Structure 1
Amino acid sequence: MILLRSHQLKPKASLEDIFAEDDVLGLLDVAPLKPRSVPVDLVSNQFGDIVAFFEQHGRAPQNSYSADMSEKLLARRLQAIRTDPDQCRALSGQDIHGLLAGIEVVGSVAEKHEQYHAKDVAAEAVNASTVDTSELVTSLDDIFADDDLGLLDFDAPDIFSMQHVPREKKALPDEIAQRQPCPDFARFAPLFETVKTGLQGGAFSLVRYRNEHGFQVGDFFILNGVMGYVHSAGARLDQYERYNARLHLVFDNGTELHMLYQSLTQGLIRDKEGRKVMLGDKLLLPNDAPIPSGFVYVLATKSTDPILMPFKQHLYKIGFTEGAVEERIKHAEIDKTFLQAPVRIITTFQCFNMNTHKLETLVHGFLAKQRLDITLKGVDGTSYAPREWFHTPLATILEVIHHILDGTISHYRMDNTTGKIVAKKTTEGA
């Protein structure tokens, strides 16, 4: 037999009993609701700023070129409020100066600032309040012009103003930019006649120009259908990696041009009919018109550099120039070619109808063993090796030049032991 133990059921607690019990954890402590804050009237605050501006300056803010950014913003806000009838009615109580109607109330503020033009502003306000702005938008320009918040105002230059960016300069070809009439073309005319006669008779020939052909003073070419003559070449330009120098070119149409070597060669390559005249070993010497080719000069240095003292007794520079030697050495004190020191002219030779650059090369080659082989430090701190200075007696240098000019240099050689020129031994009777 199973005995069931009966349990006495406790009466259920009511809500009052539950809330009447001690709230140890403070669960029923609820803070009273805070009253809602009055919503901020943004438009009213903005209009208050506009009223303050008027009272300070005696005029409404203007969206003019000379106005600063803050005034422009106030002007746009005022214009936006004027075009909204609801906002005008809501702000009528604050409009003590008639800003919304565009008419100022004459008072103490207006009397102090007589420059404010009420009629212009009134007309602007009336027009703005009677026109639906949506009807005025017909293009992108209208949209950009209706910038109430001034998002498109830039005090700094806009992004389309190029600053601190070098403009690309498209250089014109030398022959177009600097070609001019040759004042003494009569001296060169016989040369062109000789070349044309030689081409017709087969003594000379034309070849399509290629880089390996190169150019020297005395060469002829055909560029854009015009025959040209390389009269002279200036000093090599060191800023170029490959050889480049300013050439004096004379053309058979009576013009001349000072053109860069690289510009000439590139122009001939681009020209499908560009040709070089192959003269062989023939030297053109018009009897009635000797053409000055330039000057070969010999200089001595006045440098006091201690490194040069052991060589100074027989130290000479050999070079050539198309113009006057005095002009060439004018800035010797800052030119590494002249050891960055004053120089003294020993002698000069004026050459006619010959390649002076080739003459200089022959002299340098003949005296190669006597070339000054040292390294000097320039005034800018960089090191350099002089290439046109030779440590040899002056008599030897003059003798080499004379033998080259009279065409007998092939009969002599340099004795590197004595530093003198000696005649080559003949093989007759050997």
Structure 2
Amino acid sequence: MPRPTLDEIFSEPDEFGLLTVKLKPRAASPNSGGVSILTDVTRFYEQHGRLPDPSAHSHEEMRLGTIWESLVKSPSDELRQADRLGLLKIEEQKVALSWRDEVNDDDIPDSLDDIFSDDGLDVQPELVQLKHVTPAAERQVPDHRADFVPCKDFDQFASLFETMQQALDGGAREATLIEKWAVIEPLEGDFFIRSGLLAYIAEKSESTQRGGARDHRLRVIFSNGTESDPLMSSFRKSLNDDKTARVIQRLGLGPLDPDWETDKVSLSGTIYVARSLSEDPAIKPQREILYKIGVTSQDVRRRVADARNDPTFLLAPVEIVATYELQNLSRSKVENLLHRFFDVARPGELFIIDRFSKRIRPREWFYVLPEHVGQAAQLIRVGQLHLYRYDRDTQKIVRR
């Protein structure tokens, strides 16, 4: 049976009234009743001296402003004739600013201070005044850069580099590719390949909190006779950024294996005594009796150059008041001996607040005098430190 055509369908009786279309009345033109709206806007203008704001908090003003905004887009002749205050001309003279428009140089603020000083802004001073924060200008200018400098005691490492290179060439040692974003924890005695050079971790300083995370200052010796002292985090980043970087696997199966420390060199160094130059009210009164005892294998001036940014140095510059040279003595062992010997003079409540509002408790500061450290250093040289102790009450080194 052929399908019916549309004409046949529409000619049949509409039993259910499906084809009966009821047209909705057309919405009133924006200008219908516009004169009465103009009257309300005129009254508002005479009372407030301005046109109603479509974004106002008041519902009545918002409603009136929204309707008026719609009316002025295409005002009728009747509306123009009824406009006795010329409100339509005021709207036509408004220039809507767009992000595409060019702005006069005078309209562009030069700083945040210009923005916050605007009379239209009601900003409480507590919201824009920073406290306990180092100014950005000071943070961006480091006191010390980890540049490459000639290694003055390279003769202590030359044979170590030669032995390692021969082991790599002969296959006795393996260099493993450092994966991108790998977390590397350099230890004293570790070898790396960076920028085509063998890099040896000769020293890893005491732990500190920098950037909210634990960090160390390293002394890295390179096979070309230079050295550098980067932060561990910076050295780690340089390895991750170097696509050719390698880590040379240690001998042995772990720290308990006798071969594990084969590459580690027991370096002699310098004992230094530093006095803080901090202006912190909690530290300044103690500057004549509070001293940091440290041991380093590098130049002491380089070690303390970045003290202002290092929580280990109380985030302040320091003055080196005494140094004592070590001869044929392990730097790390001497440092441990001194810190244990003067442990009774360690201040229990010494702490600082870093710029991340974290409380840091440096462990290398003691209530001692430089001459006490000198006496202890002499006892270490002659191997008799274990026969003496530091008496906190009398502030003297006495025999046990």
* Fold shared, TM-score > 0.5 on shorter chain: no
Higher RCO (CA < 8 A, seq sep 6+): 2
Report the structure number with the largest CA radius of gyration. 1
Q: TM (normalized to structure 1)?
A: 0.39
Q: TM (normalized to structure 2)?
A: 0.41
